[in-house]
Chain A
Amino acid sequence: EADIYQTPRYLVIGTGKKITLECSQTMGHDKMYWYQQDPGMELHLIHYSYGVNSTEKGDLSSESTVSRIRTEHFPLTLESARPSHTSQYLCASSGQGAYGYTFGSGTRLTVV
């Protein structure tokens, strides 16, 4: 039973559209993360948050933005989607004293 939820699972959208990928967790975790996963499977951290009103950019530069207004919610927004944004996006969370992360099922985004 998943405790971290991502919607939508699949999204095909036209170039220039604004999109928001949703991520919610019910575990009360303070830390949340967004990863971009390329076709070669490697994971790239693009954003993270250590709590409400805290957001930081990750190792991989991304044109997306995030917000953390509530502990349980960490949406990712692309203001103007481009084909280069086509990828799988994975959300994860971790809590105080927890070992490792809990991942959502991912959103596979295709920009045409």
Chain B
Amino acid sequence: GNSVTQMEGPVTLSEEAFLTINCTYTATGYPSLFWYVQYPGEGLQLLLKATKADDKGSNKGFEATYRKETTSFHLEKGSVQVSDSAVYFCALTLMGRGSARQLTFGSGTQLTVLP
């Protein structure tokens, strides 16, 4: 079956530090990959996505590159801010019919950025 494995948290960084949250996946086929962010007390928001190998998704200074050879989609940001404190979820979906379109989520990584 499909699965997503995320780096366990919590992760605590100082402001302006470099961030990496690791994500690897297992999928039958060629998935589309996503990063979602959940701010305190809110639902999930799509942060970025990539739909094929070597694609780079980017948004708000965050980036992730779809690496088929290592089945990875690591999230990075060069300089984090306090406002980036949130829970980050990696997810995948397979393009197809029915249940294949459902998102499979990782377990989430809590990020806290200290001033």
| Interface residues in chain A, defined as those with a beta carbon under 8 Å from any beta carbon in chain B | 6, 31, 33, 40-43, 45, 48, 50, 90, 92, 94, 99-106, 108
Query: Are the CB atoms of B103 and A101 closer together than 8 Å?
Result: yes
Chain B, 80-115, contact with A by CB distance < 8 Å: what is the 0/1 string?
Answer: 000000010101010000100111010110100000
Cβ contacts under 8 Å, A45 to chain B:
102
Query: Are the CB atoms of B32 and A99 closer together than 8 Å?
Result: yes
B74 at the interface (CB under 8 A from A): no
Query: Are the CB atoms of B43 and A106 closer together than 8 Å?
Result: yes
Query: Are the CB atoms of A41 and B43 closer together than 8 Å?
Result: no
Given A100-B34, A100-B46, A103-B43: A42 and B108 interface contact (C-beta under 8 Å): yes
Give 5 new A-B contacts, CB below 8 A, not counting A92-B43, A99-B32. A40-B107, A99-B49, A101-B46, A104-B43, A106-B43
Give the distance in Å from the alpha carbon of A30 to the alpha carbon of B60 in the complex: 29
Chain A residue, CB-CB nearest to B9: A41
Query: Are the CB atoms of A41 and B110 closer together than 8 Å?
Result: yes
Cβ contacts under 8 Å, A94 to chain B:
101
Q: How many A-B residue pairs lie within 8 Å, measured between CB atoms? A: 52
Cβ contacts under 8 Å, B36 to chain A:
100, 103
**Interface of B (DSSP majority class):** strand
Q: Tally chain B residues at the interface, Cβ within 8 Å.
A: 24
Given A50-B98, A94-B101: A41 and B44 interface contact (C-beta under 8 Å): no
Contact of B49 among A42, A100, A108 (CB under 8 A): A100
Cβ contacts under 8 Å, B59 to chain A:
none
Shortest Cβ distance from B30 into chain A, in angstroms? 14
Give the distance in Å from the alpha carbon of A100 to the alpha carbon of B34 in the complex: 7
